[in-house]
Amino acid sequence: MKIGFIGLGNMGAPMAANLVKAGHEVTGFDVAGVTVEGVVKAMTAAEAATGKDAVITMLPNGEILRRVYDEIVPAGLAGAAFIDCSTVDVDSARAVAEQAAAAGLLPVDAPVSGGVGGAAAGTLTFMAGGSEEAFAKAQPLFEVMGQKAVHCGASGNGQAAKICNNMILGVTMIATCEAFALADKLGLDRQAMFDVVSTSSGYSWSMNAYCPAPGIGPQSPADNGYKPGFAATLMLKDLRLSQQAAVSAGAQTPMGARAAEIYERFVEIDEDARDFSAILPWLSEGAG
Q: What is the predicted pLDDT for the residue at 258? A: 98
Dihedrals phi, psi of 151, to nearest 5 degrees: -85, 115
pLDDT reported for residue 126 = 98
Neighbouring-strand partners of residue 204: none
CATH fold of the domain at 2-153: Rossmann fold (3.40.50)
Distance from the Cα of residue 221 to its chain's centroid? 18
What is the percent of the chain where pLDDT is above 70?
99
Domain with CATH 3.40.50.720 in the chain: 2-153
54-57 and 81-84 strand pairing: parallel
**Per-residue confidence (pLDDT) for residue 103, from 0 to 100:** 98
List of the chain residues with pLDDT < 70: 271, 287-288
Which positions are annotated as active-site residues? 162
Give the list of residues 6+ apart from residue 147 with CB closer than 8 angstroms, or none. 122, 123, 124, 125
- pTM for this structure? 0.90
User: Tens of pLDDT along 45-56?
Assistant: 999 999 999 999
pLDDT attached to residue 287: 58
Q: Considering the chain, tell me which residue range(s) the CATH 1.10.1040.10 domain(s) occupy.
A: 160-285
CATH topology of domain 160-285: N-(1-d-carboxylethyl)-l-norvaline Dehydrogenase; domain 2 (1.10.1040)
- What string of DSSP letters covers 30-55? -TT----TTPEEPSSHHHHHTT-SEE
Query: Which pLDDT score, from 0 to 100, does residue 273 have?
Result: 79
